[in-house]
Copies of this chain bind each other. A is one copy, B any other.
Amino acid sequence: MRATLIHGTRDIRLAEVPDPTVHLPGDAVVRVVASCVCGSDLWPYRGVRPATEPRRIGHEFVGIVEEVGAEVRTVAPGDFVIAPFAISDNTCRHCRHGITTSCENGAWWGQPDRHGVMVDGGQGERVRVPLADGTLVATPEQPDPALVPSLLTLSDVMGTGHHAAVSAGVRAGSTVVVVGDGAVGLCAVLAARRLGAERIVAMSRHAARQELARAFGATDIVAERGAEGVSAVKELLGGIGADAVLECVGTKESMAQALDSTRPGGYVGYVGVPAGGPELPIDKMFGGNINVAGGVAPVRTYLPELLGDVLSGAIDPGRVFDLELPLDEVAEAYAAMDERRAIKVLLRP
């Protein structure tokens, strides 16, 4: 079968690899129906976190179960399943607290597991799924193909945007600012609307992304950044910052933007992968009671709840995919996202 490997900076190749098989009794093998490229895949792509040797990549996919190990109970061959971006048993102490990304037996796609066995990446034709019972969530029946993009966002970006909103305590009536207009930021807008936010300010300088933000529920757009952006936000929100600021980028500048846009006593909910920092300025946080919550999103925990809303049509996060390519063109998919020609690219094997 074919799967995507990253060889080095801006070097993405599709290669022939052995077909996956059930290796452990808790494994499943899934035939991929759709996968995609993540903003965090761009870190190794851009050399910010360089790949030192060719390795499998991709951590978002949906597909059909082809085979399961002897111990698998919750999914069966033929099921349509969603794979979260982290592998978890969903039974350990951290999973029971809902933090499946800290699973005591967990693993990550494209990286060695606890036993040193490499786990497949998601950007391929088939994937071996360890801890299939804990990791995968099956839809009640075969979904309408039109729903596949939205289901695919539950692998990562929709659950991640939701985590930002939940971590920041967004509730009915909240004032919200979203920093970042990538797929996660746009999903954070949708998540904030879903949780009942009254005002949602999306910070974006790109017309197409502004439009999608409005479609997802943004009530206001701020194109300015830095001090001007903070002033514009405060002007919209009665002279003070927001109750909740959702930081969906992960740079020093975006975190500063978020902290400065939060009212005293408010929360920054952050999910942008911190690219080697920044450290957080505790003096500023302390003086204003600016709280910082979030981290790597335990999307598995949120999947059942969000799945219901996708299947009912209440939310349509799949609109973040503005480009669809065959897996053959995975290198172009990375380039399109790297150059910001696409918000998010869906890949069909």
Task: List chain A positions with a Cβ less than 8 A from chain B.
Answer: 93-94, 97-99, 101-102, 167, 238-240, 255, 263-265, 267, 270, 273-274, 276-283, 285-296, 298
Contacts and interface: CB of A to CB of B under 8 A. Distances in A.
A289 B278 CA distance: 16
Given A265-B94, A280-B279, A287 B291 contact: no
Contacts of A255: 282
B93 A265 contact: no
A44 to B, nearest CB: 16
A62 to B, nearest CB: 25
A93 B241 CA distance: 11
Given A93-B238, A277-B282, A295-B289, A264 B99 contact: yes
B239 A93 contact: yes
A274 B294 CA distance: 22
A274 B286 contact: yes
Given A97-B265, A265-B298, 20 more contacts: A94-B264, A97-B263, A99-B263, A99-B264, A99-B289, A102-B287, A102-B288, A102-B289, A267-B293, A270-B286, A274-B286, A277-B283, A279-B279, A279-B281, A280-B280, A280-B285, A286-B295, A288-B295, A289-B298, A290-B295
Nearest to A271: B286
B289 A291 contact: no
B274 A283 contact: yes
A262 to B, nearest CB: 11
A101 B265 CA distance: 10
A102 B282 contact: no
A282 B279 contact: yes
B292 A292 contact: yes
A48 to B, nearest CB: 14
28 contacts: A93-B240, A94-B263, A94-B264, A97-B265, A98-B265, A99-B288, A99-B289, A102-B264, A102-B289, A167-B291, A255-B282, A267-B293, A274-B286, A276-B283, A278-B282, A279-B279, A280-B280, A280-B292, A285-B292, A286-B294, A286-B296, A287-B296, A289-B294, A289-B295, A289-B298, A290-B295, A291-B291, A293-B293
